[in-house]
Amino acid sequence: MSEHLLEVNHLKKYFKTGKGTVQAVDDISFTLDAGKTLGLVGESGCGKSTTGRTILRLLDPTDGQIIFDGKDIAKLSAKEMRMMRQDMQMIFQDPFSSLDPRKTVEELIG
């Protein structure tokens, strides 16, 4: 098994449109260890959902490497990927309930 549960290396996802190419995700890299949680935070349209969908291979990456539990998932068949997704999940969160400006960090932690 790999040192990290998830390794994302130089991930890119581009879309071709009638007006040219949109770089939805452009060269992101990170690692995630087992038992840890990763949150992607950013403004609307910055590529958070596209990043998640690309990691789950709901969208094929334009470039980069995605290693999950030691396996390069870009090389898996559709059937193998469906089985792999049983161990992967995206959780969308309502920003209005999760980022309440009336709460302070102390209130959230303590």
Concatenating the DSSP letter of every residue in 28-91 gives EEEEE-TT--------TTSSHHHHHHHHTTSS--SEEEEEETTEEGGGS-HHHHHHHGGG----
The rounded distance, in Å, linking the Cα atoms of 83 and 57 is 12
pLDDT-derived band of residue 94, with 50, 70 and 90 as boundaries?
A: low
Tokens encoding 10: 């130089």
* Separation of alpha carbons 55 and 79, rounded Å: 16
Q: Report pLDDT digits (tens) over 7-20.
A: 999 999 999 999 99
Mean pLDDT (the chain) is 83
For the chain, percent of residues with pLDDT exceeding 70? 82
Q: For the segment 25-63, what is each residue's pLDDT rounded down to a tens digit?
A: 999 999 999 888 888 888 888 899 999 999 989 899 999
pLDDT band at 102 (very low <50, low <70, confident <90, very high): low
d(CA 19, CA 98): 36
pLDDT-derived band at 75 (thresholds 50, 70, 90) equals confident
CATH numbers and ranges of domains, the chain: 6-109 (3.40.50.300)
Confidence grade of residue 108 (pLDDT, cut at 50, 70, 90):
very low
